[in-house]
Amino acid sequence: RCGRAVWDRFASALEVAMLRSYAVKAFEGLHHRGAEVSLVLPFHRTCGSMGDSLPKDGSLDFAFSLAERIQSALSEALATPPLHLRGALLRRVQLPAVSGPQQLMPSHDSFAAHADRATVAAYHYSAVLYLSERGDDFQDGELVFMDSDGHDRCLEPRAGRLVGFSSGLENLHRVVPPVGGPRYILALWFGSGNATCMPELTLGSLGQSSAADSSRVPGGQGQDLWAMSLAVVFIL
C-alpha cells in the first residue's frame, strides 16, 4: 500500500537528545560525501563486528528499540505486510561542506530529487526521524515531496517528528539545503513480504505503536495521497 504518514513527538526530547549525542560522537573522524556524513547502523543486537567500533553507552540498543517502534508505526498506519529492516543510518547534513582529507566526494549532491526504491529495490517503505529542528538548529531544510499533480508538498523538520512513506516513485522527494546549522536524522528502510534476504535483520513481532498525535499529510484539493495505486524505490 502506498502513502505517507506523520507522527509529531514520536520520540521524546530526551530520546532525541540521546540519539543526537550518540551521532555527534560517532561522526568524529568519519569521511564526508559533499555536505553529508553518515553512519550505517547494524541494528541487530548480535551484530558484533560493526558494533565493536561504536560507542558503548547503550545508545545502539536504544536505537534498535526505536527502530522496532518505527516499524510498528509504519505497519499500522499503512496496513503493510510484515516488515523487515533493510537499512538504517544516522546522517548529518551541514553547509558549507567540509574540505580537506575528510572529504571523499566534494561533488556529491545531498539535495537531488530521488525515490528510494529506484536506488535499492529491496526498499519498500522509508522512515525519517528528525533529531534537530528547523528554526532552532538551522533554517530551511524541509522535506519536499514532488507530487505528480505538479505541486510540491513540504514538511518542516521538527525534533522528534517521524515521517513514513512508501518508497516508490509516488514519493519522489528532495531536501531543501539547510542554512546556518546541522540537520540530523535517523533514516530507516524496510522491506515487506517474505524475508528473502538479510533475514538476520528481521525485527521481532509487531507491538503496540507508541506514536502519539499520528496524522496524515494533506493531499491537496480533493486528492487523497493515502490511497495511491502501487507505483514502483533511497532516501535522505
Ranges 12-26, 28-42, 143-157, 195-209: which has the least confidence: 195-209
The larger pLDDT score, comparing residue 33 to residue 56, is at: 33
Q: Cα separation of 157 and 136, whole Å?
A: 10
Q: Cα separation of 45 and 59, whole Å?
A: 12
184 CB neighbour count, 10 Å cutoff: 25
Q: pLDDT exceeding 70 applies to what percent of the chain?
A: 74
pTM: 0.79
Separation in Å, CA 50 to CA 18, 28, 109, 200, 227: 20, 16, 27, 14, 39
The predicted model gives 116-132 an average pLDDT of: 96
Residue 6 and residue 163 in contact, taking contact as beta carbons nearer than 8 Å: yes
Helix ranges (DSSP H) in 129-224: none
Q: How confident is the model at residue 224 (pLDDT cuts 50, 70, 90)?
A: very low
Per-position DSSP letters for 10-44, written without gaps between them: SS-HHHHHHHHHHHHHHTTT--BBTTEEEEE---S
Residue 11 corresponds to which cell in the numbers above?
A: 520520540
User: Please, what is the angle between helix 59-78 and helix 13-26, to 10°?
Assistant: 120
Q: What is the pLDDT of residues 74-103, one digit of tens each?
A: 999 987 778 999 999 999 999 999 999 999
Residue 16 and residue 177 in contact, taking contact as beta carbons nearer than 8 Å: no
Question: Angle CA(100)–CA(104)–CA(110) in degrees, nearest 5?
Answer: 110
Q: What is the pLDDT of residues 205-214, one digit of tens each?
A: 223 333 333 3
Q: What is the pLDDT of residues 103-116, one digit of tens each?
A: 999 999 999 999 99
Residue 131 corresponds to which cell in the numbers above?
A: 533529531
Which helix (H) or strand (E) element contains residue 155?
A: strand 152-155
Residue 37 corresponds to which cell in the numbers above?
A: 556524513
